Structure 1
Amino acid sequence: MTLIGTPLVATLYTWSIFGLLFSFPFTMASNNNNNNNNNNTPRIVELAAQISTSVAQLQEQLSAEGLPSPSFDENFSAKYPANVTQLRDAVLDASAELHELLLDPLMVLFKFASISNLVSIDAVARYKIPDMIPAGGRLSFEEIGQKTGLEKNVVRRLLRNAMAMRILQEPEPGVVAHTSISKFLANPAINGWAQFEARDTWPATTRIVDAIQKWPNSQQANETGWVLANNGKTVPEVIATEPERAMRFANGMNAIDWVPGYNISLLPTVYDWASLGNVKIVNVGGAMGQAAIELAKKFGNLTVLVQDSAAMMGGGVLVPAELKDRITFQEHELFAPQTEKAAVYFFRMAFRGLGDQFAEQVLKAQIPVLESGAKMLIQDVVMPEHDAVPLWRERTQRSVDTALQCFGNGRERYLDEWKALLAAADQRFILEQVHVPKDNLLGILEVTWKA
């Protein structure tokens, strides 16, 4: 079986919002889920004390920096300074554990398995209810019903379920107002992501285990939960034939820049680009040149050639006039043999949507032009081992890793898997260093070609 629409599949998965919106760094953290203590203090009492101490310290830090205390007020912006990261992690993990200890087993399962929550999120996003409510304003259930064409009881059912998740609020009976979360959902990119999650991702993820049973251990993009949920069509085949869904996908892509630690503006800070000297970088799978622009803006010693399929480049983004002499574009499919000689080849999230056999093909495609000493810089997730990061981060990352499987049998990779992938492609790919900056979601694997 061959990979359907191979070049477009790979590039689309590279930018998959599901992989982009939620993943976390390979950093060490204390394990807050350890139930073994050295005294007779009940665990729930111990957790309560941890929460109390950490919250007090967290608030002290926020006050010292003149920052507001966390709130669901529609004007609150959840931006936390780096020096409170550990305190925040401690509170989130301890409060989650305390909450789950006090639930019955069935309620713990329900907490993680309830699908009705996504129904309300979909309704709020699809009807664009956050757009109806003016900043600081209010609307009644009846008024929202008039705007949506829905009866009051339908509006009330959907919105009160959303309110239970802190999406919208009911400051007085029958009246709806914003919270910080519903205000965030008014952002077109976030709205697009929410709709794509509910209408496209969810049906596909429900078929992941079916696909595993039907095609055990498959790496093929046409043997997935997505294909089972879409009448045999792969992601690019659906996007090519269904404009409305293609638009949802495209709008969702724009949500990437709203993920803390994932914003492309952080790219210049995650590696010592200046140390490369006056070099040419080939940005393989560089889409519309967003990464190239960020690098060229900050480092005058770099010139960047952006390679991708014509469909993904789409004419390129508007390159600032002062950078046009250092950023060029070239149509080049991801799996095609590389034709450009350069000192550095840069891949930003180009492998997470691919099974190993196809990721190997991408690496091997670069070999024809590689000279000894050439660098491959791979910006991607390095999966943490169990208990290596705070539990709340780990839960999200495991969930995203699972979701990646439904689109094209891709996955996030652990460090040993990255090493195995490079060795399988060619023993001359030498992993020199792995850079994972604190609180950044993507690492840089620095690989040198040693002929």
Structure 2
Amino acid sequence: MASSSTSPRMIELAAKISSSVAELQSLLSAQGLPSPSFDEDSPESLPASAAKLQDVVLDATAELHELLLEPMSAVFRFSAISNLVSIDAICRFGIADMIPAGGQISFAEIAEKTPLDEALVRRLLRHSMAMRILREPEPGMVAHTKISKFLTLPYINAWVRVGAADGWPASARMVDAMEKWPSSESPNETGFCLANNTTKSIYEILAEDPERAMRFGASMKSFDHFPGWAIAQVPKLYDWASLGDARVVDVGGSQGHVAIEVAKSFEGLTFLVQDMEMFVKDAQAPEELAGRVEFMAHEIFAPQPVAADVYFFRLIFHNWGDKKALEILRAQIPALKPGAIILIQDGIMPEPGHMPLWRERDMRAVDMNMGCFFNSRERHMDEWKSLLAKADERFVLKRVIEPERSLLAFLEVVWDAPSAKS
């Protein structure tokens, strides 16, 4: 969009960047914190007090960068899936783990520890270095940046491997799936299915392949690094104390990691974690939470057999299209009493300009991933309202809580609110 100002847009952006960076540096200096760098021991994130400045600088620098790119360069950059090749190689061959902390290793030494020859190692790693992943402190030597050091985390390694082995091929076939099955919401009519030449859903494929399932499961912890996704943040992002002494059913809660985290902070709450038998059969709560966090095998589409005050769904509905999401909601109805709360923690797709663009891009990328793997999506607010209304008019959306900087929101839904007041 052309600027209405008489000043050229790139001048405006440069001024904004300059003033905001100066303000950011003053804030960090006042708190005795280091300036951001690519050093391997540099802090992963900026302090919360710097969030708004970070948003301004990241959006402005991205806009300035993209403003100066020629169209072909912009398209090439945004469509360059080849970037994943060197990152996958670093993770697949454990190259990041070969580099000593604070030290360095040669291309030749890496080649000796992998199936790759030295020329190929150099080719792959210099490609990654152009993205500031790894660095070459002296000719022929490899050292960490803070980005490559991040790849030494096992679950980040698993996330990259899932992206390369599963996400990349599935994404490449997503538009093919759209053409073959227009408007489909079926989990066995996806880019993932075409890439794997199967009529089975990803759920069925993972159930048959323990190694693949373990890698996929391990990669999920990587989302703790997205704002609002970390399990440790769940007790802080919603007013759990307002529930009082309540019984909470954590529907699809796996091995109870979230229930345990919330129960530690709110003594009035007791949790029943429901999930498939394979997830809950060996699950245990810590000794200090015995009797307050319990487990039950239950299929998410089966009628809810347990009466409770709250039914909590964390990152459940974004795995399913509307047809299956409606089944999940309606399955709760047999157990609901007037005033019962359906508490949903999930994404709400932003309208343009609602959040900083760099964060919006992350959220829209997650949305694309949900499509290629599950044939599902992140929903806009009007889509959430429509889903609840279609499920049953007695599902009343009481309020929506969107914590600042979180990519996840809380939808607080009350069952038959008028009856609860009478």
Provide the TM-score with structure 1 as the length reference: 0.90
* Equivalent runs, 1:50-449 vs 2, <5 Å: 50-232=16-198, 233-316=200-283, 318-449=284-415
Matched letter for residue 421 of structure 1: L
1: distance between equivalents of 2:304 and 2:399? 24
Matched letter for residue 270 of structure 1: L
Task: Note the C-alpha offset of 1:120.
Answer: 0.6
Residue of structure 2 in register with 1:9 after alignment? none
SS of the residue corresponding to residue 45 of structure 1 reads: helix
Matched letter for residue 7 of structure 2: T
- Check whether the contact 2:285–2:294 (CA below 8 A) recurs between aligned residues: no
Task: Note the C-alpha offset of 1:85.
Answer: 1.2
2: distance between equivalents of 1:359 and 1:312? 21
SS of the residue corresponding to residue 137 of structure 2 reads: strand
1: distance between equivalents of 2:71 and 2:191? 29
Matched letter for residue 151 of structure 2: L
Q: How many residues align?
A: 416
Change (3 A) 1:399 1:259: closer
**Could you list the per-position Cα deviations for residues 332-365 of structure 1 after superposition, in whole angstroms to 9, with x for gaps in the alignment?**
0000000000111111111001000110000000
- Check whether the contact 2:185–2:322 (CA below 8 A) recurs between aligned residues: yes
Task: Note the C-alpha offset of 1:314.
Answer: 4.8
Task: Note the C-alpha offset of 1:244.
Answer: 3.1
- Check whether the contact 2:226–2:407 (CA below 8 A) recurs between aligned residues: no
2: distance between equivalents of 1:310 and 1:124? 36
SS of the residue corresponding to residue 247 of structure 1 reads: helix
**Could you list the per-position Cα deviations for residues 284-307 of structure 1 after superposition, in whole angstroms to 9, with x for gaps in the alignment?**
111000111011100010010001
2: distance between equivalents of 1:376 and 1:394? 27
Task: Note the C-alpha offset of 1:37.
Answer: 3.1
2: distance between equivalents of 1:254 and 1:395? 20
2: distance between equivalents of 1:123 and 1:43? 40
User: Higher RCO, 1 or 2 (CA under 8 Å, sep at least 6)?
Assistant: 1
Task: Note the C-alpha offset of 1:251.
Answer: 2.0
Task: Note the C-alpha offset of 1:247.
Answer: 2.6
Task: Note the C-alpha offset of 1:269.
Answer: 1.0
SS of the residue corresponding to residue 273 of structure 2 reads: strand
Matched letter for residue 315 of structure 2: M
Question: Which segments of 5 or more consecutive residues in structure 2 lack a partner in the other structure?
Answer: none
What percentage of aligned pairs have identical amino acids?
Answer: 56
**Could you list the per-position Cα deviations for residues 214-249 of structure 1 after superposition, in whole angstroms to 9, with x for gaps in the alignment?**
000001011111110111132123223333322321
Provide the TM-score with structure 2 as the length reference: 0.96
2: distance between equivalents of 1:244 and 1:272? 39
SS of the residue corresponding to residue 342 of structure 2 reads: strand
